[in-house]
Amino acid sequence: MKLSLRGEYALRALVVLGQNYGPEVVRIQSISDQQNIPKRFLEQILSDLKSAQIVESKRGVAGGYRLAKPPEKIKLAVIVRHIEGALAPISCVSERFYQKCTCPDESTCGIRAVMKEVREAIVKILENTSVADVCQRVRHLEEQKSRAFEYII
């Protein structure tokens, strides 16, 4: 699995929405400015996430986006699968997007065995990590950075 720019931007936008979770919407321009994401590209991504019922939108002058569910209920695996497709590094180990590979015998292929372990590790992490977990990590990293900066001064 390789996370595309689209996938990275989707995750970053969802972290902003997770940090601002509540009844109010976040303006798309605010997300774009905070995360340095081109606004037009962000609009396409958020529209796609809306079709997957991951986010909700409000139209108009006071419009914007918010998460459709609490951030602890949105797992990264759902987002990445929606945006990128398979979580597997090669298609012959994918459970949801399996395609036969070109090796002569999948059952004895050492590369396939290793890539299956890689897929399992990726799936385990992404299915056990929510948007809320990432938001918590951001807060923790910001606190560490702040403490380090205070120490320097």
Residue 148 has pLDDT above 80, yes or no: no
Query: Which residue is associated with the tokens 């609490």?
Result: 70
Q: How far apart are CA 120 and CA 136, in angstroms?
A: 24
Among 53-67, 95-109, 120-134, the range scoring the smallest mean pLDDT is 95-109
12-43 pLDDT, tens digit per residue, is 999 999 999 999 999 999 999 999 999 999 99
CA 61 – CA 113 distance, rounded (Å) = 53
Average pLDDT over residues 3-16: 97
Q: pLDDT tens-digit profile of 69-112?
A: 999 999 999 999 999 998 999 889 988 888 888 889 988 999 99
Per-residue tokens: 109: 């292929």
